Structure 1
């Protein structure tokens, strides 16, 4: 089947939560607390514009996007992405990333800023760079990786105009 990106619904949350919990517990890419309940995780993830990448009825990944800051910072967008470990290598992250860039352009955002890309997350760093993002700064030691100890968080930026 073809992978489709569509708006997420509450009915998608159980599948999203399954990989959300695994990715957070892995301790390599997100600074969310390890002990979030499903309801607490949903409150963090299911806000703004949330989409899922699906293959039929199977949720392969999800992204949430919207303004990076309110008010005077709302012209710059941001996004977060999670791909199910079972779906890695199928291009799901790239499809979600391309959707994100297109969506932000269509919504009239001037740029996209990712505030916290873990520098040891080489797959994400390569993907965002290939989509035109560049690192504009790194906060040294700002993320406590389970495998690597203290590593940097990269701020990445893509102008849209």
Structure 2
């Protein structure tokens, strides 16, 4: 398995990873009906860099890095991650997170902040904590979970230096 910069040619398969996650409505605030074009803009054009994990010539995971704020807050980055259902439980999320931390440092960021980690997504919360992130805030009932209704979201932070 390799992790590399994503290209426009990768996006059709990346969209195949993103769309079911967005449609499920349990981990990302993106609208379930988000279009491929909207997702391309948010996942490929807005970030500073987008990466794919490739196995057997096929993307099995992806993440992006972007500045979390403009100007005086631009030393903190933000990232989003998606792993294919077939690759879950194999440590790919951790590999993507560790790769993203190294890339963030190489890009000059000093910290990473996840603005909106859904509290009921315990696998992600536990993974991010094991990768050095701390919950620094709770946003009460900030996420409209499609199955569970209103649930909390966490702000998670990790100083990279």
Please indicate, yes or no, whether the TM-score normalized by the shorter chain is above 0.5. yes
Q: Secondary structure at the residue paired with 2:138?
A: strand
Show CA shifts across 1:22-62 (max 9, x none).
Answer: 00111100111122221111111113210000102111010
Partner of 2:20: 22
Distance across 2 between alignment mates of 1:123 and 1:42: 26
In the TM superposition, structure 1's runs of 4+ consecutive aligned residues that sit over 6 Å from their partners are: none
Match of 1:145 in 2: 145
* 1:43 aligned onto 2:48: no
**Partner residue in 1 for 2:5:** 7
Q: Once superposed, what is the RMSD of the aligned Cα atoms?
A: 1.0
The aligned counterpart of 2:115 is 115
TM-score (normalised: structure 2): 0.95
SS in 1 for 2:28: coil
Residue 126 of structure 2: aligned partner = 126
Post-superposition offset of 1:147: 2.0
> Unaligned regions of 5+ residues in structure 2, if any?
none
Question: Residue 107 of structure 1: CA displacement?
Answer: 2.0
Counterpart of 1:46 in 2: which secondary structure? helix
What's the CA shift for 1:106? 1.8
Q: Aligned runs of 1:20-99 on 2, under 5 Å?
A: 20-47=18-45, 48=47, 49-99=49-99
